[in-house]
A and B are shown apart, each in its own frame.
Chain A
Amino acid sequence: MEAIIDVVLLSFLVAVVIAIVWMKDLFTVAMLAGIYGLLTASFFVAMDAVDVAFTEASVGAGISTLLMLVVIAKTGRYERPVRHKPWLALVVVLVTGGLLIYGTFDMPYFGSAQAPAQLNETTAHYIDDSFEEIGIPNIVTSVLASYRAFDTFGEVVVIFTAGIGILALLSGPARREEDADIDAINETMHKEHMVLRIVAKILIPFILIFALYVQFHGDYGPGGGFQAGVIFAAAIILYSMLFGLDTARQVINQAWVRLIAAIGVLLYGSVGMVSFLNGGTFLDYNVLMEDPIAGQHLGIILIELGVGLTVTAVMTIIFFNFAGRQVPVKKTDNNQGA
């Protein structure tokens, strides 16, 4: 049965990818990319990797589709006709693919108990001793938030870097919105999107609560700061899309969002610093409290909070700066012309 599910999911994946390559309508492509994310997530579930599936569902199927749609709205819906035929690229792709297939010939079978990754002491250690050492049932969280916490710190910094990169490139000098404009836009949007607006108003509180659940439940089930941050940001983005950017800007102060992005990274980093003030090495949670297990709990909750804050803030920054692009462009068209 499992094999059939795998085959079906993988063939859907291939079909979707071919369709993406074929399509000229970028709106369709964005939608298909969302479906690709969802299929990948389902495939991960079939492989029992629920944590990864959760991330893929919220990032691949969720927020990245949204961001692509924003970009399409700003640039244009159709791909420009390509005149040259990129044969060299096709050759490179074929060679790469061929090499990857060649590499599978000596791979251990999928799920084999004899695979080196299964036999290695590291894996055994994670499975046998992590509960004793860290005290939480979700091994994935133990690995990423404690054993390999420094990698996760790096990942948070990657997200922070993306946010700063977007700010550096897309944000303009601070400008003031006029309330009259906001009211006018609100009026027209209210007529056009009445149903969506009412549904969103009902949904948004639940989305936010679910994000908080995911945030604080990562120790026991799939979840954690990354997923929670993305879900939280999705609620904010949903609100901004239906009620207008300027209305959303009044609710969500952009200067604060930028600070929160920094604070998340700093929170994570300071947990590490406190570790070495207490005599451990960087990110050693055992020394955070008298009882090592309590220390691990505290450390993990704090760093997950840091992750959640930075991810929410950066996703919001990315959305607002992409979606907010149109206004300065219009202004230059009217006034300066350059």
Chain B
Amino acid sequence: MTLHLPILQVIVPLIAAPLCMFLKQYPKAVWLFSLLASALTLLISALLLQQVLTSGTIIYELGGWQPPWGIEYRIDQLNAYLLLIISAISTIVLVAAQTSIEKELESYRQSYFYMLYLLSLAGMLGIVATADAFNVFVFLEISSLSAYALIALGKDRRALWASYQYLIMGTVGATFILIGIGLMYQMTGTLNMNDLAQRLPEVAETRTVFVAFAFTVVGICLKLALFPLHLWLPNAYAYAPSIVTAFFAATATKVAIYLLIRFTFSIFGLSFSFTTLPLQTLFLLLGLLGVFIASMTAIYQNNVKHIFAYSSVAQVGYMIVGLSVGSALGLTATLIHLFNHALMKSALFLALAAVMYRIGSVQLNQFHGLGRQMPLTMAAIVVGGLSLVGVPLTVGFVSKWYLVLAVIENGWWHVALLILLGSLLAIIYLWKIVEAAYFKPPVHEAGTIKEAPYSILIPVWVLIFANLYFGIDTRLSVEVAQSAAQSLFGVAP
């Protein structure tokens, strides 16, 4: 069975979703079954990463057809690392899902919710695992379509509008990516990524390939909410069911970053990518603008989910700055932050799911006094927030450290300074939450608000603990990121 691990990684959740239909009458059973499927994908991804680290890239030929006739899966360090992040976050979030979803959704919608969740998970895993450009698009459709529906399920009616905006922007993004892939096929006659990477240099000078590249990059940037294409994100994250936000904030933009890395570094190649379009300047500029404008906007928000959603846009900015450096170290910094940001945001949004469970709102003025009434949940938000700021001993520090190292290596002192300044902005919006929770008189009468149930609290603290653990023991995140980055740059690790 180990031979089939690459495909099992994707089809376990993919097959589990329609199977849930048979259990539809019992939402709790559907949840348990989904959790089981997700845990199995986590196990598979751990085995895959271990296999890749010991014996190198794994190739799986679907349908028994030799690529490029058929579709192949190609698991290297980069996507094994991503697969692990996605399936781990999905599983931990799903543990808390039952309690939160039971409160936020009507009972007849709950089973469909878990099916969509599994489909979304399978879609993201499929995008990451495949080595075929068109297959990317197919799985992108699966993950996006389920994402639109999941977001629209939010209790707040504004969720519908937010989901609609995301649907329009997401569809434009996906269509751009499809146009890009179509043009690449037209100029090379192949869809296999490896094959594309070999054939594109011959036609690199043509205007058609230039347009293909431009469309692909813009399409992916829409999906990853790069400033100024981020406008769909804050409302989508704020009004979606809390569990959905925790899952997507930690995974969806990461998958898009992965695609950007795959297309610019592996398929088009670094020299083409950075000379055809002024990508370096563009990424640096948009990344930094994203960090500052999104962080400033976060400061003025009154809905805590909005605060962290804008913060996500800012964090994407850091990752893009890492890419703009164009060195192995810069790419390492991006990959490390990808892992670390997934840990921070899933912990923070899951803690907000706990607040939503008890209070039914995440408005800042409803947080007054929660520091005493929900001490463990608030402590989790504070620790997670410190990690977001980048305080030493948390994962956030590791990310910032490598990012600053990378830009300094390039001699960009002013950029390093701006990155540190960006962290200060994060302190301000974090402080607003701390102030509300700990230093304001409580709005809820004493005794009416209890600490969150353990079913949510335990997953939150598992993630918070991970934020601290990987802040100290960086073997997994840093070493895998380093060797993945080096292999993309063609340097033997």
Task: Name A's B-contacting residues (CB within 8 A).
Answer: 99-100, 102-108, 115-123, 125-126, 146-151, 154-155, 157-158, 160-162, 164-169, 171-174, 258-259, 261-263, 265-266, 269, 272-273, 275-276, 280-287
Distance in Å: Cβ of A105 to nearest Cβ of chain B: 5
Say whether, besides A125-B69, A154-B135, A282-B11, A146 and B63 are in contact (CB < 8 Å). Answer: yes
How far does the alpha carbon of A261 sit from the alpha carbon of B17 in the complex, in Å? Answer: 11
- Asked if B70 lies at the interface with its beta carbon under 8 angstroms from chain A, I say yes
Q: Do B126 and A269 touch (CB < 8 A)? A: no
Give a binary string over B207-236; 1 marks a CB under 8 Å from any A CB, 0 the rest.
111111011000000000000000000000
How far does the alpha carbon of A134 sit from the alpha carbon of B141 in the complex, in Å? Answer: 29
Distance in Å: Cβ of A229 to nearest Cβ of chain B: 16
- Asked if B397 lies at the interface with its beta carbon under 8 angstroms from chain A, I say no
The residues of A that contact B190 with a CB separation of less than 8 Å are 120, 122
Distance in Å: Cβ of A287 to nearest Cβ of chain B: 8
Q: Which of B95-141 contact A (CB under 8 A)?
A: 106, 108-109, 112-113, 115-116, 119, 122, 126, 132, 134-135, 138-139, 141
> Which of A121, A154, A168, A261 sits near B149, CB closer than 8 Å?
A168
Interface centre among A106, A116, A259, A282 (most CB of B within 10 A): A282
Q: Do B189 and A123 touch (CB < 8 A)? A: yes
Say whether, besides A99-B211, A169-B149, A284-B63, A261 and B21 are in contact (CB < 8 Å). Answer: yes
- Asked if B465 lies at the interface with its beta carbon under 8 angstroms from chain A, I say no
Q: A150-B71, A269-B11 provided; 5 other pairs, C-beta below 8 A? A: A146-B63, A147-B69, A149-B63, A161-B116, A169-B153
Q: Do B115 and A269 touch (CB < 8 A)? A: no
The residues of A that contact B207 with a CB separation of less than 8 Å are 102-103, 105-106
The residues of B that contact A104 with a CB separation of less than 8 Å are 208
The residues of A that contact B119 with a CB separation of less than 8 Å are 157, 160-161, 164
How far does the alpha carbon of A267 sit from the alpha carbon of B19 in the complex, in Å? Answer: 11
Nearest opposing residue in chain B for A149, CB measure: B63
Nearest opposing residue in chain A for B64, CB measure: A284
How far does the alpha carbon of A277 sit from the alpha carbon of B88 in the complex, in Å? Answer: 28
The interface stretch among B44-52, B178-186, B295-303, B405-413 is B178-186
- Asked if B60 lies at the interface with its beta carbon under 8 angstroms from chain A, I say yes
- Asked if B7 lies at the interface with its beta carbon under 8 angstroms from chain A, I say yes
- Asked if B475 lies at the interface with its beta carbon under 8 angstroms from chain A, I say no
- Asked if B61 lies at the interface with its beta carbon under 8 angstroms from chain A, I say yes
Distance in Å: Cβ of A309 to nearest Cβ of chain B: 11
How far does the alpha carbon of A159 sit from the alpha carbon of B11 in the complex, in Å? Answer: 16
Q: Do B145 and A154 touch (CB < 8 A)? A: no
A–B complex contacts, Cβ < 8 Å, 19 sampled: A102-B211, A104-B208, A106-B206, A116-B199, A117-B185, A117-B189, A147-B63, A151-B134, A151-B135, A158-B142, A164-B146, A165-B149, A168-B109, A168-B116, A168-B153, A261-B18, A280-B64, A281-B7, A281-B64
Nearest opposing residue in chain B for A255, CB measure: B24
The residues of B that contact A146 with a CB separation of less than 8 Å are 63, 65
Q: Do B148 and A165 touch (CB < 8 A)? A: yes
How far does the alpha carbon of A174 sit from the alpha carbon of B113 in the complex, in Å? Answer: 17
How far does the alpha carbon of A248 sit from the alpha carbon of B123 in the complex, in Å? Answer: 34
Distance in Å: Cβ of A175 to nearest Cβ of chain B: 11
The residues of A that contact B60 with a CB separation of less than 8 Å are 281-282
- Asked if B354 lies at the interface with its beta carbon under 8 angstroms from chain A, I say no
- Asked if B152 lies at the interface with its beta carbon under 8 angstroms from chain A, I say yes
Q: Do A266 and B19 touch (CB < 8 A)? A: yes
- Asked if B392 lies at the interface with its beta carbon under 8 angstroms from chain A, I say no
How far does the alpha carbon of A99 sit from the alpha carbon of B217 in the complex, in Å? Answer: 14
Q: Which of B132-188 contact A (CB under 8 A)?
A: 132, 134-135, 138-139, 141-142, 145-146, 148-149, 152-153, 179, 183, 185-188
> Which of B17, B62, B112, B208 sits near A150, CB closer than 8 Å?
B62
Nearest opposing residue in chain A for B120, CB measure: A161
> Which of A121, A164, A168, A266 sits near B15, CB closer than 8 Å?
A266
Q: Do B108 and A116 touch (CB < 8 A)? A: no
The residues of B that contact A263 with a CB separation of less than 8 Å are 18
The residues of A that contact B179 with a CB separation of less than 8 Å are 100
The residues of A that contact B149 with a CB separation of less than 8 Å are 161, 164-166, 168-169
How far does the alpha carbon of A261 sit from the alpha carbon of B24 in the complex, in Å? Answer: 13
Say whether, besides A161-B146, A259-B22, A103 and B188 are in contact (CB < 8 Å). Answer: no
Q: Do B14 and A269 touch (CB < 8 A)? A: yes
How far does the alpha carbon of A269 sit from the alpha carbon of B32 in the complex, in Å? Answer: 22
Distance in Å: Cβ of B222 to nearest Cβ of chain A: 12
Q: Do B188 and A116 touch (CB < 8 A)? A: yes
Interface centre among B18, B138, B209 (most CB of A within 10 A): B18
The residues of B that contact A265 with a CB separation of less than 8 Å are 15, 17-18
Say whether, besides A107-B186, A282-B11, A155 and B208 are in contact (CB < 8 Å). Answer: no
Distance in Å: Cβ of B278 to nearest Cβ of chain A: 16
- Asked if B4 lies at the interface with its beta carbon under 8 angstroms from chain A, I say yes
- Asked if B442 lies at the interface with its beta carbon under 8 angstroms from chain A, I say no
The residues of A that contact B210 with a CB separation of less than 8 Å are 103
How far does the alpha carbon of A147 sit from the alpha carbon of B191 in the complex, in Å? Answer: 13
How far does the alpha carbon of A102 sit from the alpha carbon of B207 in the complex, in Å? Answer: 7
Q: Do A283 and B63 touch (CB < 8 A)? A: yes
Say whether, besides A150-B63, A272-B11, A168 and B112 are in contact (CB < 8 Å). Answer: yes
> Which of A103, A165, A276 sits near B4, CB closer than 8 Å?
A276
Q: Do A116 and B189 touch (CB < 8 A)? A: yes
Nearest opposing residue in chain B for A116, CB measure: B189
- Asked if B68 lies at the interface with its beta carbon under 8 angstroms from chain A, I say yes
How far does the alpha carbon of A174 sit from the alpha carbon of B68 in the complex, in Å? Answer: 49
Q: Do B208 and A107 touch (CB < 8 A)? A: yes
Q: Do B211 and A262 touch (CB < 8 A)? A: no
Distance in Å: Cβ of B44 to nearest Cβ of chain A: 14
How far does the alpha carbon of A157 sit from the alpha carbon of B274 in the complex, in Å? Answer: 36
> Which of A102, A116, A164, A281 sits near B186, CB closer than 8 Å?
A116
Q: Do A118 and B63 touch (CB < 8 A)? A: no
Distance in Å: Cβ of B400 to nearest Cβ of chain A: 35
Distance in Å: Cβ of A325 to nearest Cβ of chain B: 14
